[in-house]
Structures are given as C-alpha cells and as structure tokens.
Amino acid sequence: MKPFFHTTSALLLCLLFNHCQPSKPVTWQTTSPDGQLSISLFMTGNGELQYAVTRIRNGIADTVIAKSPLGLDIDGYSLSQLKHSGKSEKKSIHSMINRIHGKNNPLRDEFEEHQLQFESSNGNKLVMILRAYNDGIAFRYGIDAESPGEFKVNRERTGFTIPSGKAWLQPYDKVTLWTPAYEKPFQNGIPVGTSSPNEEGWCFPALFETGKHWILLTESDLDANYAGSHLQPEAPGGLYTLRFPEKEEGMGLGHAEPTIALPWLSPWRVIITGETAATIVESDLVDRLARPSAMKNTEWIKPGIASWSWWSDHDSPQKPNELNAFTDLAAAMNWPYTLIDANWNLLPEKEFQAILNHVKSKNIGAWLWYNSGGPHNEVTEQPRDRMHIREARRKEFEQLQAWGVVGIKVDFWQSDKQDIIRQYIELLEDAADYKIMVNVHGCTIPRGWSKTYPHLMTMESVWGAESYSFASNYPMEIPAQNVIYAFTRNVIGPMDYTPVTFTNQTYPHLTTNAHELALSVVFESGVQHFADRVSAYLNLPKPVKEFLMNVPSAWDETRLLSGYPGKDIVMARRKGTTWYIGGINGENQEKDMTIDLSRLGIKTYTLFTDDSKNSFAVQPLTTASPLQLKLKAFGGFVAVSQ
C-alpha cells in the first residue's frame, strides 16, 4: 500500500514532533467495523502527535492504551510547526484472504482506515495511517517524495501506555555467538511496568492483562527498508517504547539505526486486543496487515509433517543409515518430508546422492539445512557462505532444484538489523523463483511474511524442544512456557518448536506423553517437525500412531476453549469437518477440567489421555455432556471428532 500524498520537496527531513508551533488541539478518531474499538489521534497545542485506544464496555469508552507518544527523529533534521494539511482519506475494507497454511482459512479482512496528512512550514509531509479492526488496532508512518532520497532514522518515538495489570514478557537477548534468537523464557504474569532483567529490553510480542482487556503488542509488514524493533527495558508508568537492534548484533556489522529510502512506509505497529484471551489467541491480525502474496503460482507449496534425525543424534546428518531410517519413518507415518540437518555437506558426494535417491524412491521431499552466514556469525556448522550473497544463493538454489530438494532450513541469523532483514527478504524472493520452501531458525519473529511469501512455512524464535539437549532448567520451566507460547509467540505466526518428543535427551522430560502429543494441536507450524527417534513413533500404540499419521499442519479454524497463560490451555483446531482438541497443563499439580465440546457441535470423538504408567489411554466416546478430565501434573490430552 502507498500513501495517497506526494511532496514537492526534494529534501525530506527528520521528523521530530516535539518542537512544533503551538496551535489548537485537534483529535481524529477511527472506529472498528463493529463500533466497539477506536484509535484516537491527537495533535496537542504544541504540535505533538499522540494516540490512544479505547473500547466500548457497557456503553462507556474504556481505556485500552492510554495517551502515548508518536514520532520519528530522522537524520538530525526536525519538522517544526506541524499542522494538519487538510487532506484525509477514509475507507472501509471487507474482503476474504485464502491461505495455504496458518491457523484460519480463509481470513476475513474487515477494517476502517484513515489516512491523515501533516505538513511542516517548509512543505515536508508525513502521513499517519490508522486502522481499526474488531480484534485490534494498527498504525504506521508514511513518507513520500517526488525526488527519492535516503535518510537515517535515529529514533522512533512510538510508545504504548498500558494500564496497570499483568504482563508476559520475554527479555531481549544479550548478544552472543548464538543470539539474539528470541529463545529466553517469558516472565510469567509480572506487574505491568516491570523493568527487563536485561539492559537490551523486552521482545515482541508482549502480552498484557489489565483486568478489563487483554492486549498483545507486536509489529507487521516489516520490509528491507527498516530494522526489526523491540521494547526498551524501562516502562515508567506502563509506557513501553520502541528500541532498535543492539549495535553488537551480527558481529557488529550493519547499522542499528535504519536508513530509509523514500517513498517509505514503516512497519505496522500492532495492538491486538479483546475482553478475553480468546481474541488474542485466535487473531490473525499480523498476517492480515502484511502486504498481499508476492506469488502467483503457489501449487508447489505444501504444508505437512517432517521427520528429523538431529534431535536424537546431532551427528546423524553424516550417517547415511540413520538418515535413510528417518526417510523410511516419514514414509511409514504418511509424512511428506524429512529434514537433513547441519553438516550434511561433509558426506562424500556419492553417499549424499544415494541418500537423496532413497528419499525420492519413498516419494518423500527432502529439506536441507544451511548456515545463514556470512560474516554476521561465527558458527562453524556447515554449509556456510552460500546464503548471504545473492549470486551464490541463487546458484545454490539452482543446484537444489536440480536435486529435487523441496525446502531449506536456514539457521543462525543473530541480528534484527536492516541488513539482515534485507537478507531474509531477498532469500525468500530467490527461493520463490526456484520453488523452494523455507524454514528459518535462530531467527527473528514472524512479521506477516508468511502471507507475502507463503513458502515461508515456519520460523523458530522459540525456546523449543532442542533445548532438552542443552539446558538443565528446561524440563522444569517448559511446561508453563508451552502454555505461554500459545498466548504469545504462536499468535503472531508459525512456530517451529519441533514438538512431540516422548523419549528423553540429556535432560529428561517432566511433561507427560499426552502433553507432548497435544503439542501437535496446541502449536501451529506450516511444516511441523516431529523430533523424536524412529522407534519412539513406530512403537506407539496403534491409535496414537494413526493420530500422528493424520494430524494436519494447516488449519481452517482455530478456537481457544479455555486457558490462562502459564497455567493451562485447551485449543480446538478444525481441518475440513474434523475437530482436533489439544489441552496441556503447565503446572506441577493435578487439575480438574470441564470442556464443553458442544460449542463445536461434537458428540462423538476419540480421547487420548495419560494412563497410570505414562503411556496412553484411548477411549471412543459418544456423549453430549461436557468432557470431565483430571489432568496429571504437566499432563495433557487430545480429542478428535468422528
């Protein structure tokens, strides 16, 4: 989308809204299609721009986001004597968006949009673009010019003033060999305004409960013309403000502050909100805000389950017999893919080609792992130096296409700076040209890219099951984190957690088998990598194995039936006419649950629960009564409609 205005100025400016000529305060309001949610834009007497978000409750406008700052400091220039130019444009949109993968398909896209043009005394122009949806608010900045130019953004002043309540926030990583990677555990229900334990701040997404409203903050439609943002470590009075990437990210290469090329649109600043947590969990607002699909031919993009040898044996990508066994597992389980992880290129070429031939003989699609570096990381896992330079990358994709490889997993990005955001976008563009699906790991968070580039099947940016190999605190912390992820990280896009692991790694599970099984439903990912050993799946009871042979990785409808972050969740997802319900207990105590499946029109279903020996109890049930369950500590269940 492009702003409606054009400027006659060849030089465009830094925008700084805090030094404007005093004038009469003015307010503009944009309201959601259902009339309940509004964003108000204010221009104060001294020229500052602010906004606030309200929701109608019991006939009264109740505060969701209190008055909060807006503005940009660009390249040392200031835009003074800001005033509304008199130009504004309103429109209503009602459309449907078809998806290849995700939690809902199709998406109903309904919103009210208001574009407002502001002008300085020297003729420089800014547009504020406001959108109001039934499940949230979004706004962005726009700058256009008849003569293109490039300008450094020193600071974005955008803030979000949250009323008092609870917060679920993830500390942003200190820069290391492996980070930032959005893999720290979320702080669980801390007071709004709590300072981050890291001076680097807090991550997006950020979740809040104020007693009256649930709120999730994030961003969408980030492109190569900006950097990824997160939140400052301090939030005085509940005011969370934006922060650019850390200077040390990506081995110190690239600039923390982005340089924008005109014309320019900022990412959307996204506020998903509702009176219940269901509005948050079920929302696709991040995807709806992203620009439309850049691809016309998408028939080759296929969601599905993948087998993965690395979790159980980190050296397996150099062991042909093990790789072949995981190909055979995928074939036996009716899964379309197998992933060959790091250092596969160290195999002799003849042996590697034999592995690919075995994959083809089983009618399975192979995915191959790559290091994203390049000079921006020092991780030694290979192949390296094939993904950061466009010419080399396209040459590699040409080879992959000739081999019949269907997808790539690209790992170790270590930066949200603009140069790395550009690499993500260019990699997705190039992969599309060669019909190669993409999974990114050690990476940034989703920002709607799976809508624009639907062959982006999944992203990590989560403290996933691989940490059973590395982190001694993981087994105790992850049950609650699994619940929190469903309310936070997985809300904003596909999440490659690599779930459904029944056997143990270095640090044994505390979650039950039914908890692990339920993650196949609770978590959404366009390609879902089931990570356990071959024997773990082939030795399952027949009904459980049949469930895993058929569970989808792309959904038509998602509903939150019950839950609270860090405590428990019951998620229902529909594919066609079949409902899959997954529930997990994030707490170390038994828990009674009553689940009303009549809301889904379900009377006959198969129930999978934990038995007394941490195996599975499987029951076919026909009843119109609510489902009564006693979940084990860190337990779970699955139900599948018939």
Paired tokens of 32: 């959601």
pLDDT of 46? 76
Listed by start position, the domains of the chain span 26-289, 292-461, 499-642
pTM confidence score: 0.95
**pLDDT for the residue 147:** 66
Paired strand residues for 608: 618, 638
pLDDT digits (tens, 9 = 90+) for 238-293: 999 999 999 999 999 999 999 999 899 999 999 999 999 999 999 999 999 999 99
Query: Burial, 478: exposed, middle or buried (Cβ in 10 Å; 0-12, 13-18, 19+)?
Result: buried
Considering only 40-54, 87-101, 178-192, 532-546, which range has the smallest mean pLDDT? 40-54
Mean pLDDT of 588-615: 94
Task: Write the CA distances from 358 to 65, 316, 406, 490, 530, integer angstroms.
Answer: 56, 16, 15, 34, 20
One fold for both 26-289 and 499-642? no
Coil, strand or helix: which one is 219? Answer: strand
Residue 17: pLDDT band (50, 70, 90) is: very low
- The answer to whether residues 229 and 274 touch, using CB atoms and an 8 Å cutoff, is no
The values of phi and psi at residue 189, to 5°, are 70, 40
Fold annotation for 292-461: TIM Barrel (3.20.20)
Longest dimension (CA), the chain: 76
CATH of 499-642, one of 3.10.180.10, 3.60.15.10, 2.60.40.1180, 2.60.40.3880: 2.60.40.1180
Q: What share of the chain is helix, strand, coil (3-state, %, to 5)?
A: 20, 35, 45
In the numeric block, which tokens belong to residue 456? Answer: 């982006």
Q: Is the pLDDT of residue 76 over 70?
A: no
Q: Quick check: 18 pLDDT over 90?
A: no
Question: In 305-442, where does DSSP find H-type helix?
Answer: 320-332, 349-361, 390-403, 418-433
DSSP 401-439: HHHT--EEEEE-----SHHHHHHHHHHHHHHHHTT-EEE
Instruction: Tell me the mean pLDDT in the region 484-513.
Output: 98
- Any idea which of 18-32, 163-177, 198-212, 552-566 has the lowest mean pLDDT? 18-32
pLDDT greater than 70 at residue 9: no
Three-class DSSP category at 308: strand
Question: How does pLDDT run across 372-412, given as a tens digit for each residue?
Answer: 999 999 999 999 999 999 999 999 999 999 999 999 999 99
pLDDT tier for residue 427 given thresholds of 50, 70 and 90: very high
The angle at the Cα of 618, spanning 613 to 622, to the nearest 5 degrees, equals 145
Q: What is the chain's mean pLDDT, rounded? A: 94
The letter for the amino acid at 556 is D
Q: How far is CA 641 from CA 140, 516, 593, 608, 620, in A?
A: 42, 19, 18, 12, 10
CATH architecture of 26-289: Distorted Sandwich (2.70)
